[in-house]
Structure 1
Amino acid sequence: MKANNMVLGLDIGGTKISSGMIRDGKLSERKETRTPASLPQEEILDAISTQIEHYTPFGFKSIGIGIPGLVDPIEGIVYNLANIPSFQKVNLKAYLEKKFNVPVVINNDANCFALGEYKFGPARDHRHVIGITLGTGIGTGIVANGHLYTGRLCGAGEWGGVPYLEHTFEDYCSSKFFKREFKQSAKKLAISAENGAQEALDIFKAYGNHLGQLIYRLLLAYAPEAIVIGGSIRKAYPFFEKGIQDVIDQFPYKPISENLKIYVSELDDSAILGAISLVKENEFLIKGEAPVSSSTFIA
């Protein structure tokens, strides 16, 4: 069962840790466990290690990890995880490299989503791609000239925090919009929209207009060839597609907007696939390096 070219990918979130490896071009050996998000750092690190130990019989050669929050991709230090309070400054790379004696590459989870879609989804036919995840919050990953653009501490693309109307884009483009304005979940409203309820259809059109305003700005900032929409709200895309398009139609530079491709993700594990792809994307970081031997993993 051993395969010395195997890469293990992990998507670490506030509620679950998902993992898998690519075999014959497809994700295999997928595993999912609950994240003990409220526990101390040591216990969370133990949970991550236990997840990885499940794969030791496969002889993986390296590990790629996507995780929310700020990440130093060189040092592998994770900062300010809102959903995992004890992970405020953790040298996850050093900890895992010493424990498993393989190179580890870490990046923001939204970046991993974008990279996974670029490598394994229809966006692979383009070189300039933006991935947008729509759920409890929003995340944005940028692929420019065929490679991730992450900025300092993987902080590029944090469009959710950009001021918009009375709040921020996250308040209007995530599930917060439905709960704050209409006291309902996006999922419940989508069921109503499927049944033809006009109020629900109007709500999703308004939501699409807000998301369209975000995409309008992304077109100005990055001029992508393609945008991939992911996250749980993507399933309601037919109800807010026109709202988006109405705004994009107002974009002044038609050669950009009229050739823009918008895809709805069909991959269930884009972030894991992107985490696996991180190893190749960041090969220059790990080629020829020995695992870090620092004895301080938790700050």
Structure 2
Amino acid sequence: MKKYGFGVDVGGTTVKIGFFEATGKMLDKWEIKTNTENNGVAILPDIAKALEEKLAKEGIDKSDVQGIGIGVPGPVKNASYVERCVNLGWSDVNVAEELGKLTGLNVKVGNDANVAALGEMWQGGAKGSKNVVVVTLGTGVGGGVIIDGKVVEGFNGAGGEIGHINVNKTETKACNCGGKGCLEQYASATGIVRLATEKLAADNDATSLRDLAEVTAKDVFDAAKAGDAVAIGLVDTLGEYLGGALANISCIADPEVFVIGGGVSKAGQILIDAVQKHFKERAFFACRNTRFELATLGNDAGMYGSMQLILE
């Protein structure tokens, strides 16, 4: 008898839903709007309705569904409880309990970056490995640390918050978290743009970036690939911040592989090379040859990882 499950990835704009066989095969995926009005009170009922409709359409009994895995953009305690999730408007929500009551199914909850890491371990860039660190470089910097196949959530649910490692004690501008000098301020897409903007304002070096009305992270990488010296320097600076942070992480987690994902990872090998160069310069000798891979699941990683939660 086939078993099924749902992997749900809740974002601030849309909820991505994957319908899976327990083998890891995705049968279908779709999105619904994330209704954040009234502190997100409708989000879980909307998800429950979407899942009920899918099961009815497919003619699948709930006894054949192993459960629902759900990733949310905030710290999660005990695979169930969210104290605060700013992007959704949630405060003091037991997601597993509430969604379980609405659906009658087993529910497990994880931080969105952590479940994306599980997805890459299970069916993506780290497939076949059990000790993995995944770094997602997007608007911010997220991450997930997996040891022996299990996500490290930590006491406060903040395990894997790689983006908020302090990498610059002289920084004067605040990160979104309220701290100063966080990795996210330099290695995210917005961080790269910030580095470029400050560089262009600080000197008059010739660079194709000056010809652009507005510089994006992609522009910086494209210019570097074309041999632009300023852009190459900016990519190296990013590599220094991120490679150094991952060298420190390797002393604790000692992963078999680092997986780099998120929108910035579309830059490809030039990003991996820059990070790996500085990682090797800083890493403990036993960790120096840790593999680096690009993520392969893209926006589906959260759905795959959420599904994997209920198979543990």
TM-score category by the smaller chain?
0.7 to 0.9
Which structure 1 residue ranges, 5 or more long, are not aligned?
Answer: 282-299
Specify whether residues 16 and 198 from structure 1 end up closer, same or farther in structure 2 by C-alpha distance, changes over 3 A only. Answer: farther
Q: Partner of 1:48 in structure 2?
A: 47
Aligned residues: 276
CA RMSD of superposed structures (Å):
2.1
* Paired letter, 2:4: M
Q: Partner of 1:146 in structure 2?
A: 149
* Paired letter, 2:16: S
TM-score by length of 2: 0.81
CA contact (8 A) 2:83 2:91 kept: yes
Displacement, 1:72? 1.9
Once residues 50 and 197 of structure 1 are traced to their aligned partners in structure 2, the CA distance between those partners, rounded to angstroms, is 52
| Aligned residue runs from structure 1 range 125-274, under 5 A | 125-165=128-168, 166=171, 167-183=181-197, 184-251=215-282, 253-258=284-289, 260-268=290-298, 269-274=300-305
Displacement, 1:7? 0.8
Once residues 222 and 52 of structure 2 are traced to their aligned partners in structure 1, the CA distance between those partners, rounded to angstroms, is 41
CA contact (8 A) 2:265 2:271 kept: no
Q: Partner of 1:290 in structure 2?
A: none
Mean Cα displacement is larger for which, 33-42 or 122-131? 33-42
Displacement, 1:88? 1.9
* Paired letter, 2:95: L
Once residues 81 and 220 of structure 1 are traced to their aligned partners in structure 2, the CA distance between those partners, rounded to angstroms, is 30
- The partner residue of 1:101 within 94, 100, 104 is 104
**Alignment deviations for residues 95-153 of structure 1 (CA, whole Å, 9 cap, x no partner):** 21111111110011111011111111242332211111111111111111222221124
Displacement, 1:51? 3.2
Once residues 4 and 238 of structure 1 are traced to their aligned partners in structure 2, the CA distance between those partners, rounded to angstroms, is 40
CA contact (8 A) 1:205 1:242 kept: no
Displacement, 1:196? 4.3
Q: Partner of 1:82 in structure 2?
A: 86
CA contact (8 A) 2:195 2:234 kept: no
* Paired letter, 1:202: G
Ranges of 4+ aligned residues in structure 1 off by more than 6 Å: none
Once residues 30 and 92 of structure 1 are traced to their aligned partners in structure 2, the CA distance between those partners, rounded to angstroms, is 21
Once residues 31 and 249 of structure 1 are traced to their aligned partners in structure 2, the CA distance between those partners, rounded to angstroms, is 41
Once residues 278 and 238 of structure 1 are traced to their aligned partners in structure 2, the CA distance between those partners, rounded to angstroms, is 30
CA contact (8 A) 1:4 1:61 kept: no
Specify whether residues 25 and 115 from structure 1 end up closer, same or farther in structure 2 by C-alpha distance, changes over 3 A only. Answer: closer
Identical-residue share of aligned pairs (%): 28
Displacement, 1:206? 1.6
| SS in structure 2 at match of 1:110 | helix
Specify whether residues 153 and 56 from structure 1 end up closer, same or farther in structure 2 by C-alpha distance, changes over 3 A only. Answer: farther
